Amino acid sequence: MGIQAGLIIRRAASEIFRSALVSCWFMFLTFPIMVIKVNPLERTIEWRWMRLVWIGVAAFLLSFVWRYLMMRRERGSARDESESWQARLGKRIRDDRKTSYALLAALGLFMVLFPFTFSSYQTQIMISALMYVMLGLGLNIVVGLAGLLDLGYVAFYAVGAYSYALLNHHFDLGFWAALPVGASLAFLFGILLGFPVLRLRGDYLAIVTLGFGEIIRLILENWNEFSFGPSGIAGISRPGLFGVDLSLDQHTIYLYYIVVALVLVTIFVVGRLRNSRIGRAWIALREDEVACQAMGIDKTRTKLTAFALGATWAGFVGCIFAAKTTFINPASFTFMESAIILSIVVLGGMGSIIGVIVGALVLILLPEYLRAFSEYRMLVFGASMVLIMVFRPQGIITGVRRRYQFRLSESREAQREKDAASA
């Protein structure tokens, strides 16, 4: 016992010393930014030493906690994932119908009453979060299920938005008429992207899809006669309700319920696709492309279907985005949008519908609700993302494969027992 206690004390002292070094290093790095404040008008320098002290204390504590958690992770790495509390909680929710129905009812009631409980600003934020839920579920088809790394997903998003904007500007086409048109055009663009990349995977596929997204953005930015260039398109009509004249707040509530309905449809369709024949083909393609082809699965059709169906949902959301903002320009469809959508899929858990939903809500809502931290909110947000990906590299909620159990009928089992007894 004495030797073990001595080892524990020695290990703790070592970790404290390392955390102190990390603290000193952070104090050195942040000294010019956090301590020195220059006023050029009055030609004075303000020395904010207390900030340096707080940074040192915070860095020390965070480093010590980090090392402690990493040590616990190393000790518990041998445990089966199925024994974790997340897995047990998920299994209990899935198996207990009363609990699942109660949670769904509470969630449904919350979503219905949300625009009447919170302000219009909060409703706008929730609309944006739900739009990213749809984008994440669409990209989840391509990346999470089919295993095709797509960095140009924002291109289909732009196709949907500009489809509605141009149709509304030139032909005065309404939202509901342009919605299927935008989705159809995104579907066709998904096929056009799929054909050149049929033989590509991994890094090469990522580079090509990234180039495709940039090509679309540059065309929209430089083709002034078609897309109005960097100036964009303004005055886009909001969704109509049987000719009723709605105020801005009423339009917001109306659009909120439209997005909620489309999210429910997306969840249903993506869930059915995942458990269908084409969904199992996507998963087989993701796991082993050679074995997938050897099993008789048409690799070309499988890839094209993944790209096309994933792009369709981006087209839907693009139309909603144009109707929500009433103004679009190419600056809204940069690579950062693709990176955010991909982060939602990876953070939530690739292949998991619930994980993507949670990832979208966390990634979009968290920066908004961290505004109380002012200039430090993105630092806190970034640190939170790092912690999640370090301790949950498989995502917040991992995708659970559907299990099939085959059982003999009772008559056949009885016959086998009789045969065994007679023998």
DSSP per-residue letters across 41-108: TTTEEEE-HHHHHHHHHHHHHHHHHHHHHHHHHHHTTTS-GGGSHHHHHHHHHHH-HHHHHHHHHHHH
Q: Give bridge partners of residue 234 from the DSSP assignment.
A: 327
Residue 84's pLDDT band, with cuts at 50, 70 and 90, is low
Does 71 score more than 90 pLDDT? Answer: no
Residue 146 is predicted with a pLDDT of 86
The predicted model gives 279-301 an average pLDDT of 84
Residue 220 lies in a domain: yes
Choice between 127 and 276, residue whose per-residue pLDDT is larger:
127
Residue 83 lies in a domain: no
Q: Are residues 129 and 34 in the same domain?
A: no
Which of helix, strand or coil describes residue 310?
helix
Residue 81 lies in a domain: no
Q: In angstroms, what CA-CA distances link 140 with 87, 313, 347?
A: 21, 11, 11
Alpha helices (H) in 195-298, listed in sequence order = 202-222, 224-227, 248-274, 277-287, 289-294
Place of tokens 């659009």: 255
Residue 82 is predicted with a pLDDT of 47
Residue 318 is predicted with a pLDDT of 93
Q: Are residues 275 and 213 in the same domain?
A: yes
pLDDT in tens, 185-211: 999 999 988 888 877 777 788 888 888
Residue 378 is predicted with a pLDDT of 65
Pairing of strands 233-234, 44-47: unpaired
Residue 101 lies in a domain: no
Q: Are residues 137 and 275 in the same domain?
A: yes
Q: What is the rounded CA–CA span in Å between residue 224 and residue 232?
A: 9
Does 16 score more than 90 pLDDT? Answer: no
Q: Are residues 71 and 126 in the same domain?
A: no
Q: Residues 44-70, buried b or exposed e (16+ Cβ, 10 A)? A: eeeeeeebbeebbeebbebbbebbeee
Q: Is 405 left (phi over 0), alpha (psi -120 to 50) or beta?
A: beta
Q: Are residues 156 and 238 in the same domain?
A: yes
Q: Are residues 133 and 35 in the same domain?
A: no
Q: Give bridge partners of residue 233 from the DSSP assignment.
A: 328
pTM: 0.78
Residue 299 lies in a domain: yes
Residue 78 is predicted with a pLDDT of 45
Q: Are residues 72 and 190 in the same domain?
A: no
3-state SS, one letter per residue, for 158-225: HHHHHHHHHHHHHHCCCHHHHHHHHHHHHHHHHHHHHHHHCCCCHHHHHHHHHHHHHHHHHHHHHCHH
Residue 379 lies in a domain: yes
pLDDT in tens, 399-412: 655 555 555 555 56
- What distance lies between CA 255 and its chain's CA centroid? 21
Mean pLDDT over the full length of the chain? 81
Residue 163 is predicted with a pLDDT of 93
Residue 331 lies in a domain: yes
Last residue of a domain, one of 76, 104, 138: 76
The predicted model gives 60-86 an average pLDDT of 64
Q: Are residues 61 and 149 in the same domain?
A: no
Residue 90 lies in a domain: no
Q: Are residues 209 and 354 in the same domain?
A: yes
Last residue of a domain, one of 43, 76, 109: 76
Q: Are residues 192 and 307 in the same domain?
A: yes
User: What's the total number of domains in the chain?
Assistant: 2
Q: Are residues 180 and 272 in the same domain?
A: yes
pLDDT in tens, 213-229: 889 999 999 988 888 88
Does 149 score more than 90 pLDDT? Answer: no
Domain that holds residue 161: 122-391
Q: Are residues 356 and 216 in the same domain?
A: yes
